[in-house]
Amino acid sequence: MITACAIEIDAPAHVVWEVFSDVERWPEWTSSVARLTALDGPQLAVGRRYELKQPRMPKLIWVVTELSPGSAWSWEQRSPGGLTVARHDVTPISDHRTRVRQQIDQRGPVGVAVGVLMRRMTKRYLDLEAMGLKTRSEQLYRLDGATS
Read off the pLDDT of residues 97-131 as tens digits, 9 standing for 90 and up.
999 999 999 888 776 777 667 788 889 999 999 99
Mean residue pLDDT across the chain: 92
pLDDT of residue 54: 93
CATH superfamily for 2-143 is START domain (3.30.530.20)
Q: Is the pLDDT of residue 134 over 60?
A: yes
- pTM of the predicted protein model: 0.90
CA distances from 68 to 37, 44, 74, 90, 145 (A): 21, 10, 9, 10, 28
pLDDT of residue 60: 93
Helix, coil or strand: residue 62: strand
Comparing 49 with 109, the larger pLDDT belongs to: 49
